[in-house]
Every structure is written in C-alpha cells, then in structure tokens.
Amino acid sequence: MKKLFCLILAFALMSMAALAEGDLEAQLDAANARIAELEALVEEYKPYYDAQVVVEFDGGIVALDDVMTVYNDYVAMYSSYGIDPAAYGLDGTLKQQAADQVLEDEVLKLKAAELGLDQLDEETLAGVETELDETYQGYVDSVASQMLQAGYDEATVQDEAAKYLEDNGYSKDSLRESIIQSRMNEALHDYTVKDVTLSEEELQAAYDALVEEQKTSFENDNTYTSALSNGDTVVWNPAGYRAVKHVLIQFDDDQTARKTELENTISDLEDELEALNDVEEEVEEEEAEEEAAEEEASEEEAEAADEEEPAEEEAAEDEEAEPVEEVPETEDAEEVEEVVTRSEEEINADIAAAQAEIDALYDELMVTANEVVDKFNAGTDFQALIDEYNSDPGMVNEPTATNGYAVAAESTTWDPGFRDGAMSIANVGEISEPVRSDYGIHIIYYMADIPEGQVALDDVREALSESTLDQKLADTYNGAVDQWIQDVNPVYHYDRIG
C-alpha cells in the first residue's frame, strides 16, 4: 500500500515540476489539491488492493494470483490420481498450504539475498541452462507424444507442444526462474546446516529409541516383513523367523485367466449348493412343524372324544358331512419344486470337474518345477536356479535378492501355500517340495534362521548414522526456516483466498 501511495506522490511531484512559472502559492494549492485527489483515489481502490493480498510480511506480500497458481498445481497433482480435493473437503486446506508455500518461497529469497547466496557463479548458471534445456525439452517431448496420439501433424507437433506449455504457464523463462530458485535454496540449505554433525551419544540414543519402537511395531508381521523388504534399518528381530529364497514357476496370462474363470465357477457352484441346503433345511423345518400340528390336533380330538362320549354318533355324522381338509402344499414347497432343478450330487460333480481343471493347470507347471528340484538335488547352486527359472521380481530386486524373505509359522504377509511350504523345510540349505500358491508353484530354499532379538549397533552403524544425521539436518533446516518466517512478522488473510 505504501508503495502505491509513493508512486502516486512521485507522479504528483513530477506534475508540479511541469507547471508553468506563476504564483507559487497557487501552484502549491493546485499540487495539494491534486495530492488530496490522489489520496482519495488510493482510499477508493484500497479494498480492491487489499483483496489481492493474502499475506503481509516485513519486506513484501503474498499475492492472491501467486497463491492460486500454486493451488492449481496441487489440484492438478491430486487430479492425476483421480482425486477431486473439493469433493473431500480439502480445497480450503490446500489453499492455506499454497499461501504458506508462497510465503516460504518469498522468505527464502529474502534470506538468500541477505546472505549473498542469490548471486550464482558462472559455473552454476551454466548448469542451470543445461538443466533448463534438458528439462524443458522433456516437457515438450511428453506433450508432443500425447499430441501425436491425438492426431497432430508430426511436422509441427514440437511447436504446438511448446505453445501449449507457454499458454498454460510453463514457459522456458518461468522454468529458468524455478531452477535458479531451487539452486539458491540448495545453497541456503547447505549454508544453514554446514556445521551440523552427529555425536556418538546421539547415535546411541537414536539406536535405543529405534529398538524400543521396533519391539512394539514388529509384533505386527506385515510391519516387520515390509521393513525388511523396503530396506529399512532393522535393529530388532521377532522370534520364529527364517530367511528363504525361492523359484516361482508362474502361470502365464492365459493360464491365469483360465484359473480365475474356474475359481469363479467353483464359487458360484458353492453358492448354489449352499442355497440348495438352505431350502432343504427350510422344507424339513416346515414338515416338522406340520407333523407337530397334526399330533397336537390328534391329541385334542382324543380329549374331546373322551369328554363328549354321549355325542359320539352326532360327531360321526358331522365327520361324514364335513370331511377333514388335506393340508395344502405350502408356497415355499411349490417354490422349491420350481427352483431346485439340480441335486447336491450334480453340483458337487461340477465342482470336482472345475477343480480337476485347476489341478491340470498346476500340473502343466510341474514339469518345470521338477526340473528345478532335480537340478538342485544334482548339486546345482540355488542362486543359479533362481537366475534360470524364477519369475518373482523380488528375487532380482534388492534387498530381497540378497536377504530373501522373512517367514514365520504365523506370518500373514505371504500366501498360505508359500508360508507353509517355507516352514515345512527341516534344515537350513534344503528345499521344499513344489508348493502351490495363487501365483503358481514355488520351490523354496531355506537360507538361514533370523536370530531373535536386538541387532548390534555396529552391524547397523553406517545405515543408522546416515538416516539419523539426515533427520538432524532436516530438523535443523526446517527449524531455521520456521524462525525466518516468524522474524518477518507475517499477517495472514486466508479468508481472502475464497
């Protein structure tokens, strides 16, 4: 606001200098009148100006347009995952986060300038241009590829893609500014944490805390096995686990599709069988109720006959005149006759036939599985068999390629067939019989037992030191940024975002 007034005042002073020579008092009166007029205009337009200011701080403002640019980037990111933030009530939160992000960016610029870190050397600037060219061309190529699929002319598609990026705010100049800002932020980060180190006491404290945390969290099998598979630093191993590798002989796409179809058929047949059993139980219950009702009626008739013996002849005549009605078939019984067209034996036969087809699919894999077993028994190293036959990416990707999978008798992470097969192996260094799972057939190798309890600090020192120092660096820098933001005394107007 002060800047706006100063600009107007400067304009007024320039106007005064341009006035023809004349009565000085008249000139001053005219100038004062003009200043008053301009001040009135400032007050008139102040609400419009204020509405565009989301955050005020010492040294600048956060403008609404900048906030909405960042917010729209957030929305685009969520949309790429099929999420509408407004539908989940996240739009207000995201707008505030966008304002906070713009404020942080502005504060970092001020701090970098204060420390002289905004002056990039020639080598850094050359690196900026190289990164700019590669990154921007990557954007253009990505958009151009989509345009070609949409039918654009190959001869002009690169220019069309560049124009599309420009029209949507992704110009080369704006990307350059972003890269330069990123480089300045990196320099500011490095300056802020340059003296941060990790002491042995801090490492020991981090180790002790992690041991206690994992003692509790690793009671959950999935948490433990996920930590191992993700390569997290593990300092506590629960009891009962062994490390295994395996060769997976996997169903191909056609076999998988057929197996799924057969499993769905079996599920439908089991539903049919359950419905049949439910109907039969219902009929049996109704028949039992009818028998009970007939017995009760007979007992009542017998009692009535004993009490009204003198009127026996009259009762007999009544019986001849009014014959006893037969109990009609119930509606449910009629429905049973209409619905039940197949017997339990027929349904079970269909289930058995579908299961036999599934068994045949597994038998197709057994030829290869038996080859693996025979080669292992003949002395072939199991890792060589993995390299030759395996279909599981986990046996190729680290850390599981080296460490294997952790399995226990009560594991819930793994397919039950795989788990039980892994636990069936008697001794380290031996393999399982071929075992079935939903994926195919496994031949599992018992690598080692995983020792229960605490892992020695020296065994995890390097990894834990790195992660603990990284956390300390992040905490130090984030704390400094928070303090820099407080130091500029921000005043927030989130209600102006809309």
Q: Domain segments of the chain: what residues?
A: 123-194, 236-253+357-454, 255-355
236-253+357-454 has which CATH code?
Answer: 3.10.50.40
> What is the pLDDT at residue 327?
46
pLDDT at 17: 54
**Cα–Cα dist 272/342, whole Å:** 9
Query: Which residues lie below 8 Å from residue 449, measured CB to CB, with a gap of 6+?
Result: 241, 242, 243, 428
Query: Would you tell me the crossing angle of helices 344-377 and 253-307 to the nearest 10 degrees?
Result: 140
**Per-residue pLDDT for the chain (498 aa), expressed as one digit of tens each?**
545 445 444 555 555 555 445 577 777 767 777 776 666 655 655 555 557 899 999 989 999 999 999 999 999 999 989 999 999 999 999 999 999 999 999 999 999 999 999 998 999 999 999 999 999 999 999 999 999 999 898 889 999 999 999 888 788 998 999 999 999 999 999 999 999 999 999 999 999 999 999 999 999 999 999 999 999 999 999 999 999 999 999 999 999 999 999 999 999 999 988 888 766 666 566 666 666 666 666 666 666 656 655 555 555 555 554 554 454 555 555 554 455 578 888 899 999 999 999 999 999 999 999 999 999 999 999 999 999 999 999 999 999 999 999 999 999 999 999 999 999 999 999 999 999 999 999 999 999 999 999 999 999 999 999 999 999 999 999 999 999 999 999 999 999 997
pLDDT value of residue 277: 79
Q: Which one, of 178, 52, 170, lies nearest residue 109 by Cα?
A: 178
**Which strands sit side by side in the sheet containing 53-57, from one edge to the other?**
60-63, 53-57, 491-492
pLDDT of residue 303: 64
Which amino acid is residue 288, in one-letter code? A
In angstroms, the CA 473 to CA 476 distance is 5
From residue 114, alpha-carbon distances to 103, 108, 110 in Å are 17, 10, 6
What length is written for the chain?
498
Going from the C-alpha of 79 to that of each of 46, 87, 140, 308, the distances in angstroms are 36, 11, 21, 87
Find the largest Cα–Cα distance for the chain: 148
pLDDT at 456: 97
Q: What pLDDT, on the 0 to 100 scale, is given for residue 4?
A: 47
